[in-house]
Structure formats: C-alpha cells, structure tokens
Amino acid sequence: MIKMFKSQPNKHKHETFFREILDQLLLGAVFDGIDRSAPVLRWKNPDELSKLISLELPKKPQTLEEVKEFLLNVVHYSVKTGHPHFVNQLFSSLDPFGLIGQIVTDTLNPSVYTYEVAPVFTLLEMELLKEMRSIIGWEKGDGVFCPGGSFANFYGISCARYRFSPDIKEEGLSGRKLVLFTSVDAHYSVKKGTFLLGIGTKNLVLIRTDKQGRMDPTDLEMRIKESIDKDLEPFAVVATAGTTVLGAFDPILPIANICSKYRLWLHVDAAWGGGALMSQKHRWLLRGVARADSITWNPHKLLAAPQQCSVFLTKHESILQDSNSASATYLFQKDKFYDTKWDVGDKYLQCGRRADVLKLWTMWIGKGSEGLEEHVNTLFDVAKATVDEIKSRPENFKLVLTTPEFVNVCFWYIPKRLQGQENSLDYNENLHKIAPKIKERMIKEGTMMVTYQPLGTRPNFFRLVYQNSELTCHDATFFLDEIDRLGRD
Ligand code: ABU
C-alpha cells in the first residue's frame, strides 16, 4: 500500500497558506457555487470590475494575505459554471470525481509526450482511448486528448487530407483545390480548419439541412458530383452528431454510404452528442458512427467532465503517426532503454500537452459506466419535461423544434405585447429584440445564464442545454418562470 499523505505540519513555508486557501476556495467555488440560492454570477462591467480586483502586476512580492484576498475575489466575481442554473454553454456541472482528478493532475503538472515524464498518464490515456473506441464500435485505431473540440476537428480534417494525398505533407497544396463538405449548421471550427489547413473557405461546401437541422444526404451527393464535374478534388465530409444550436444529429449511415461511394473520409463531429453513446437508450442517435473514419468527442460536454476534456479518435492505426511525425531527436530518442512506442508525443501536433485523462478516468471509476449512462438518461428526461412544460404554456413560449432530438431546448419567449401579432410585418424584427433584453436583465440579476442566438432566418431565440447532473424538472420550471418574470415589461 502506498502511503499518500504524511502529516508533516509546517513542512513547507507555504503549506498553511495552501491548506487555508484551498478550504476557502473549495467552499466558495465548489459548494457555495452550486447552491441554487446563490447567484450564478455577480455581474460588474469591465470598468467596475477592474477596480474590484487588482489588475496590477507588482514589482515586489505581495503578502500571502494579499494573494489570498486576490484569489478569493477571483472566485467571488467569476461565473459559477457548476451552478445548475448555468445552462449557457455546452459545458457545465461540477463533478466531485472529475474535480479531484483535475486537482491531482494539476498538482503533478505532467506533460504527456514521453513515457519517462508521464508514465501513468500515458497508460491511462491509451487505455481510456481504447475504451472510447470500443464504445464507438472500433476494434483498432488511435486517438488523442486535444485542447478543445475545434482542435479535434482540425485533426480530423488533417488526417483526411493526409489520407487523400500524403505528399501534401512535404509538397504543400501547390495550388490544388481540395473540397470539404459539412452542413450549414456545423460548428464554425470546420470553417477555421479550412483556412488553417490551406483548404480555403471557398472550398468548403455547406450542405443544406432539413427542418430538424440535419444534413440532407441528397444535397450532399449532388454537391460532391458538382465539385467532381468542376475538376475539383473532394476529399472529406464532416458530419455533426449534436449540432451546437438545435442539437441535430446528421444521418450518419446514408452519409457514410456516400463517402464510401466517392472514397471520401468521414469525420463525425460528436463533440456535443458523443456522450449519448454511453446510453443504451439514446445511442441510436449516432447509428452508423462505426462507419466513420474519425470522430471528435468531448466528455466535458454531455458527460460533464471538467474543462477541458476533448478527444479525437480514429479507426486508422497509423495515420496520426504518419501524418504528424516530425521525429525531434532531443525528445523522441530511438535508443532509449524502454519500448519507445510509449513515447506518444511525436504523432501529435502539440509538443507540451496537458493530461486531461485523469479527471474522466476518476469520474469513470467513481460512477462506473452505469453512472455515466444514468447521467445521460436523466438529462434527456429533463429536456423532455422542459419541452412538455413549454407546450403547456403556449401564450408565452413557442418551441423552435416541436420534437427536439437531443438535450437542446430552443424556444421563443413571447411577451404579452407581441401575443397575437404573428402576422404583422415587423413581428420577427420585434421578436428578435426580446431575448437580448431578457438576457441583459438575467445577467445583471445573476439568477441564471441561458444563451440566445438567431439561426438562418429565425429571429433570436433562447437555447437551454443540459449537462449538469444536478438538474431536475423543477429547474426547467424555474428557467421558464424566470424568463417570464424577466420578460414582463
Ligand atoms: N464548442 C461549442 C460551444 C458553443 C456553445 O456553447 O454554444
């Protein structure tokens, strides 16, 4: 048995400071921060806030008391993203197992590139990525923890480009026009990937979606044929499993059939929806995902792991190594005494790399895959209850999708003065102004955080997104009541 902590008071001059501040920080940031009666945020505009927290970097060291005061202020004025009423973004929750895994990681301060500096993290990463691949349905493959879903999507596009034309690694694109396809509702990182990887935004073809926000495979095939007719070089499709706004799942099976027919790489951006794979009840949403060549899956989204926990996975065993290796001899010496296959860093685009595995691993052992499945199922239930409640309040609320597929619940709030005005010419223009006004009041009061956005021709609407394991149907009622209260003129 390894003896972890020896009680050695005053062993280090900062130990008392550290223990004290951890107590107060944990209390402030963790426990007070998730208390429903506490605010989600204490809004201050930038001018006010700059006076409340010291933004000066001093020449002389400050006292420990001053450092402590500064950190407590940071906690006080920061948004409590673990609060059940923070449903603003595609991350939330404060999982105790995840948090402790994150704290232990930061304490050890590893960088996962060679086995010698990160032996435990390397093994944990390899094992967890293998398990995630097997949940997708792949027996073999590779993967990497990335700094966010955008980066994981870049890996997908980059692997696709390498598979299409390996010589681009040395020759560059040299004026070639490679074409990438994704839906109009795909995450904006796909567009970023095209300029980052030399594809060019003009060579990104946006495929139309149906009313639910899912890619239309017929349009996809037509656009692929068009690009072939123009002598361009189609090379990959990025499908989305859980779009950012509507939570739509592109139909992976017909898309995979098209990709096979035209020999295109299929990357599935399941950053948001990947967590549904943990649920036997809901994993059908991603049916066909095993046909993909690669996927992005962010456990910090639906599974509520602490930020960031974002994974790129591929079923092709050597593609990361082949496409990214640069063989720096000062790091990846081949004459080491151990098997250098465990020096994983050369196949990744980053050099130094945070260890994002332990927080998820700790959650997994603390809850079991059954606990993760239950978490996902509960979120779907709360989303369904929210939809039902919105339907029961037709005067004030209108759903954007009457039957959402996922845990995104999108709706308009209709204040009294706009009720019954649907046919007036400026109705949409007026409705467009409602959500920003309510959001301003919400932020200033700090009672909750819910985002809004327009989409295509749809005027601004609210989007509730559920990931927090504390959420219940009562919270759904709270969100609607609160929007109604803030929206009354
Ligand atoms: N990475 C997607 C985040 C966007 C959102 O939370 O709405």
CA of 11 to the centre of ligand 1 (A): 44
141 alpha carbon, distance to own chain's centre: 22
The residues lining ligand 1, judged by C-beta closer than 6 Å to any ligand atom, are 89-90, 149, 244
19-41+79-108+362-489 CATH: 3.90.1150.170
The answer to whether domain 19-41+79-108+362-489 and domain 111-354 are alike in fold is: no
For 119, the token pair is: 């032996």
Question: Mean pLDDT of residues grouped by 10 in the chain (489 residues)?
Answer: 53 82 81 89 96 93 92 93 96 92 96 97 98 98 98 98 97 95 98 97 98 98 98 98 98 98 98 98 98 98 97 98 94 94 94 97 98 98 98 97 97 96 95 98 97 97 97 97 94
The pairing of strands 265-269 and 294-297 is parallel
- Give, for ligand 1, the residue of 93, 244, 310 to mutate: max count of ligand atoms closer than 8 Å to Cβ: 244
Q: How far is the CA of 201 from the centre of ligand 1 (A)?
A: 21
Can you give the pLDDT at residue 17? 86
| 308: preceding bond cis by omega (within 30 degrees) | yes
Nearest to 239 by CA among 161, 317, 291: 291
pLDDT tens per residue across span 338-372:
999 999 999 999 999 999 999 999 999 999 999 99
DSSP 3-state percent helix, strand, coil across the chain (nearest 5): 45, 15, 40
Ligand 1 atom nearest 453 alpha carbon: 7
pLDDT value of residue 376: 98
Which two three-digit tokens encode residue 61?
A: 């060291």
Gyration radius (Cα) of the chain, Å: 24
Q: What is the separation, in whole angstroms, between the first and last Cα of the chain?
A: 65
Tell me if 469 sits within 8 A of 87, measured CB to CB.
no
Q: Are 311 and 404 in contact (CB under 8 A)?
A: no
Query: Which ipTM score applies to this complex?
Result: 0.93
Query: Which atom belonging to ligand 1 lies closest to the Cα atom of 148?
Result: 1
- Token readout for 407 is 């845990």
Q: What are all long-range contacts of 327-330, with beta carbons under 8 Å and residues at least 24 apart?
A: none
> For the domain 111-354, what is the CATH code?
3.40.640.10
Q: What is the pLDDT of residue 3?
A: 56
CA atoms of 270 and 157, how far apart (whole Å)? 14
Top mutation candidate among 79, 86, 89 for ligand 1, by most atoms within 8 Å of CB: 89
Both tokens of 147, joined, read: 């700094």
Which 8-state DSSP code applies to residue 85? T
Q: Which two tokens stand for residue 313?
A: 């996975």
Integer Cα distance of 102 and 359 in angstroms = 5
Structure confidence by residue, pLDDT tens digits, 26-58: 877 778 788 999 999 999 999 999 999 989 999
Q: Provide the pLDDT for residue 23.
A: 86
Which pair of tokens denotes residue 412?
């308009």
Q: Whose CA is nearest to atom 3 of ligand 1?
A: 90
Please tell me the distance between residue 91's alpha carbon and the centre of ligand 1 in angstroms: 8
Look at residue 117 in the predicted model and tell me its pLDDT.
97
Q: Where along the chain do its domains lie?
A: 19-41+79-108+362-489, 111-354
User: Which residue has the least CA distance to atom 6 on ligand 1?
Assistant: 89
Query: What integer pLDDT is reported at residue 472 of this predicted model?
Result: 96
